[in-house]
Amino acid sequence: MLRGALLAIALIATLTASCGIIKSPRDLSGPAEDGGASSASSPCDQSGDDFAGDVGLARCLTEWFWSRQFQQSGQTYRPITRFVAYQGENGPDCGGQPAVPNNAFYCPAGHFVAFDETWLRAMYDQMGDGAVYVIIPHELGHAVQDQLVNDFRFNIQRELQADCYAGAALSGLVQAKYLRTEEGDSDELLTSLAEAGDPTDAWFAPDAHGTPAQRQNFFATGFDQGAAVC
């Protein structure tokens, strides 16, 4: 909890920071042999050079991460069936529930992820590409939950676990050298979570996501300790 609080304080100081996440190109030769700053050839075709590229890359890399995680525990990850960009009111419905503007969501009924493109792009422009690398992995975290045996008493547990999964996926991709973070990136990532956090500490509300500090704390835990602790 302390760590979350400290991160939140650091965050306030750097709200305007917007540093880039460095992505590995597709055509580099093989993983680097020694540590350092070198990158590995990406398993994904997307460039990550612009908004559309980053959104596609965030999805592809995160699913790559989970495929490998599932494989390591003798399971098979089931990729999402669709990845839908919508504008405002015209999103796909989920089991009869209409999509709402300014949102991204995972739909268990169709096993797909959808996002309001205008909303996500505004965050990308405002906060940098880190926004995409938090929000998309968070939604895919719900797709992962759907494939594991999970028994949540409250929705907030589901949401905070998805944040933890997002942190784990991000750090796994950094370890695999498919992504690199620059100074200030963790702040950028945490800003995205803070923006997405519910304004109140309403633990029992059906749609509760957690306070910014809670969300940052769970994200940081996943990032530091990996998916197993989530």
Minimum CB distance to Zn ion, residue 152 (Å) = 12
Minimum CB distance to Zn ion, residue 19 (Å) = 25
Tokens 């990850």 belong to residue: 77
- Tell me the CA distances in angstroms from 63 to 3, 111, 138, 146, 213, one per residue in order: 28, 13, 12, 14, 27
Angle ∠(83,176,82) on CA atoms, nearest 5: 10
Closest CA to 135 of 102, 86, 172, 179: 102
Contact 124, 131 (CB under 8 A): yes
Stretch that binds Zn ion, among 64-72, 145-153, 156-164, 182-190 (CB under 5 A): 156-164
Minimum CB distance to Zn ion, residue 16 (Å) = 26
- Tell whether residue 159 is a contact of Zn ion (CB under 5 A): yes
Minimum CB distance to Zn ion, residue 138 (Å) = 6
Nearer to Zn ion, 58 or 162 (CB): 162
Nearer to Zn ion, 159 or 185 (CB): 159
Stretch that binds Zn ion, among 6-14, 42-50, 84-92, 151-159 (CB under 5 A): 151-159
Nearer to Zn ion, 177 or 215 (CB): 215
Q: How far apart are CA 105 and CA 94, in angstroms?
A: 9
Minimum CB distance to Zn ion, residue 159 (Å) = 5
Q: How far apart are CA 55 and CA 48, in angstroms?
A: 8
Q: How far apart are CA 200 and CA 5, in angstroms?
A: 16
Stretch that binds Zn ion, among 35-43, 79-87, 160-168, 179-187 (CB under 5 A): 160-168
Nearer to Zn ion, 42 or 145 (CB): 145
Residues lying near Zn ion in the complex (CB under 5 A): 159, 162
